[in-house]
């Protein structure tokens, strides 16, 4: 009787030991994919748009359909920008009149036509006018 209990107990201990050793040998499951949030940094949404008043609203409104790079490197006169903005409005761009004015001002000021670099300074050499 006592022997039986002892046998049963040792069998149980053995089983437990086996289970324990098996699980100890199982390597921890390797993560299937290592998340790397640092590598997922998106490219800057503003595509290098110059800083200035109206940039935030321009980026917010003008990048909802396409990236800022669609227009970041464009150079237009104010009239052309207004045409461009009108075109975008008819494409479905949604903005208030205030936002449109801010975007127009921002684009005209910061993405205007590059002034042609004059080969020689063309400033007329007028003598300084005496103030009095
Ligand atoms: C409702 C969606 C939408 C919004 C918002 C939007 N655009 Fe566009 N934009 C388009 C589409 C569509 C095109 C054409 C893309 C193509 O043909 O590859 C485009 C093209 C352009 C082009 C390329 C030239 C051209 O006329 O095709 C410029 C520049 C441009 N957008 C500027 C802007 C600016 C500035 C804003 C903010 C005022 C803006 N977009 C907001 C839809 C939009």
Task: Tell me the per-residue pLDDT of 5-55, one tens digit each, with 9 for 90 and over.
Answer: 555 555 555 555 545 445 556 666 666 775 555 666 666 678 889 999 999
**Confidence class for position 127, pLDDT limits 50, 70, 90:** confident
Count of residues making up the chain:
132
Report the alpha-carbon distance of residue 87 to residue 59 in Å, rounded: 17
Query: Which residue, by CA, sits nearest to atom 12 of ligand 1?
Result: 91
CB-CB contact of 108 with 77 (8 Å): yes
C-alpha 102 – ligand 1 centre gap (Å) = 17
Question: Which atom of ligand 1 has the smallest separation from the CA of 81?
Answer: 35
CB atoms near residue 95 (< 10 Å)? 19
Report the alpha-carbon distance of residue 44 to residue 67 in Å, rounded: 10
Instruction: Give me the chain's average pLDDT, please.
Output: 80
CB atoms near residue 102 (< 10 Å)? 19
- For ligand 1, say whether the CB of 62 is within 6 Å of any of its atoms: yes
- For ligand 1, say whether the CB of 64 is within 6 Å of any of its atoms: yes
- For ligand 1, say whether the CB of 19 is within 6 Å of any of its atoms: no
Average pLDDT over residues 70-78: 96
CB-CB contact of 26 with 18 (8 Å): no
Average pLDDT over residues 82-91: 98
């Amino acid at each position: 009787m006592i022997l039986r209990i002892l046998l049963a107990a040792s069998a149980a201990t053995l089983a437990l030991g086996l289970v324990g050793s098996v699980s100890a040998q199982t390597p921890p499951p390797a993560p299937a994919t290592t998340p790397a949030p640092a590598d997922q940094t998106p490219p800057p949404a503003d595509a290098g748009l110059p800083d200035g008043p109206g940039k935030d609203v321009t980026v917010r409104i003008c990048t909802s359909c396409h990236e800022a790079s669609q227009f970041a490197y464009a150079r237009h006169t104010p009239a052309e920008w207004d045409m461009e903005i009108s075109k975008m409005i008819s494409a479905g761009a949604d903005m208030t009149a205030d936002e449109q004015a801010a975007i127009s001002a921002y684009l005209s000021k910061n993405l205007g036509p590059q002034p042609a670099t004059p080969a020689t300074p063309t400033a007329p050499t007028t003598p300084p006018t005496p103030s009095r």
